[in-house]
Amino acid sequence: MKIFMFVAGLLALLLGACSSPAAGTDPAQAQTFVVASAAAAITPFAIPTETPAPLPTQTPLPSPTVTAQSTKDNCRHALDSGVAGQTHSTIVKNETTGTVSVSLTLYKPNAFGQCGYIVVSNMSGNSSDTADLPAGSWSAYAWAKGKGNTAIGSGSFVVQPALSRKMEVCVRSGKIVYQSQC
């Protein structure tokens, strides 16, 4: 904007200086007329204009920076146990006669800001497997393989940090039990 005003003023001065004065006009009056004309041309650009206030935006606030997996709503993914803290080796037992799969879910962020699920798949009847579970609040859900994937049971439990005793998640018909030695 300032460049435009400068160019307009300079152009007015040059045009006025190059023109011949009218008959009977004093050169000093002609110069005064040119300067006044330039000032009149520039003045409208020098008047401040109202700038509207910025409108509020719907920009979401940044989330806490614990980790990318730090919210309860964001626990629907495989658990990265490598960053979830010290793990506790836990035996998962299928005490039914059918083949089951078990979903173990750390359903809210633990002390390391981690949550997610671990799936132990296709456990045949009366078999066991091992899962490394970090400390935190867990839920378990088991379902039978077959027509319609029938639910077997569910339950919840808390894995304490630095457990020293052997713990087991036992899948039974209608429920899941977490205890030491099923």
Each residue's pLDDT tens digit, 102-151: 999 999 999 999 999 999 999 999 999 999 999 999 999 999 876 666 77
∠ CA 55-60-64, rounded to 5°: 145
Q: Are 57 and 98 in contact (CB under 8 A)?
A: no
Q: What is the pLDDT of residue 70?
A: 46
> Which of the residue ranges 31-35, 97-101, 109-113 has the most confident prediction, judged by mean pLDDT?
109-113
Q: Are 101 and 145 in contact (CB under 8 A)?
A: yes
125-164: b or e for each residue (b if 16 or more CB lie within 10 Å)?
eeebeebebbbbebbbbbbbeeeeeeebbebebebeeeee
Cβ-Cβ contacts under 8 Å for 139 (sequence gap 6 or more): 104, 105, 107, 154, 155, 156
Q: What is the pLDDT of residue 180?
A: 83
Integer Cα distance of 145 and 151 in angstroms: 9
Integer Cα distance of 175 and 100 in angstroms: 13
Strands 116-123 and 175-180, sheet pairing: unpaired
pLDDT tens digits for 54-80? 555 555 544 444 444 445 458 999 999
Q: What is the DSSP letter of 72?
A: G
> Which of the residue ranges 23-32, 56-65, 127-136, 155-164 has the most confident prediction, judged by mean pLDDT?
127-136
Integer Cα distance of 82 and 92 in angstroms: 20
Containing 46, the helix (H) or strand (E) segment is helix 27-46
Q: Can you give the pTM of this predicted structure?
A: 0.58
N- to C-terminal Cα distance for the chain? 82
CATH of the structural domain 72-180, one choice from 1.10.3470, 3.40.50, 1.20.120, 2.60.40: 2.60.40
Arithmetic mean of pLDDT, 42-60: 56
Integer Cα distance of 150 and 144 in angstroms: 5
